[in-house]
Amino acid sequence: MFFRFSAGLILVVLVSMVGIGLEKQTLKMKRAVSGQYFQKDLLLEMHAHLRLKIQTLTSPSQLAKIDHTASTQLTVHRPSMTAGSSGQRTPSPPVLPLLRWEHPARSSD
């Protein structure tokens, strides 16, 4: 009789320990999924921020400002022409600003 009771008790303890282990594993996986959703939200927010920054940098007013400064630089700064050159110059194209992609851990905002 004592043997049956102890075997039943051991069986109940083993089943509960397996249940606890499975529950811990499930919670660990839920935490990982939750962290991935949070990271996805951060990346989407950063993507939207960078797209807005691209739109502001490439807006017509910005490009007009760049064209204006480039044309004034071309008229003000003329390189001296050497005697051996043919006399025709090709103006250099205006330099567009570089897009500076930021790493999410290094952003200053």
Structural domain boundaries in the chain: 2-60
pLDDT for 109:
46
pTM listed for this prediction: 0.47
CA end-to-end span of the chain: 72
What is the arithmetic mean of pLDDT over 3-27? 96
Q: Which two tokens mark 91?
A: 């103006």
From CA 70, how far away is CA 89, in angstroms rounded? Answer: 16
Q: Which residues lie below 8 Å from residue 8, measured CB to CB, with a gap of 6+?
A: none
pLDDT for 72:
63
Q: Which two tokens mark 46?
A: 């950063």
pLDDT for 86:
55
Where do the H-state alpha helices sit in the chain? 2-57, 60-76
Banded pLDDT at 76 (limits 50, 70, 90): very low
pLDDT at 30 over 70: yes
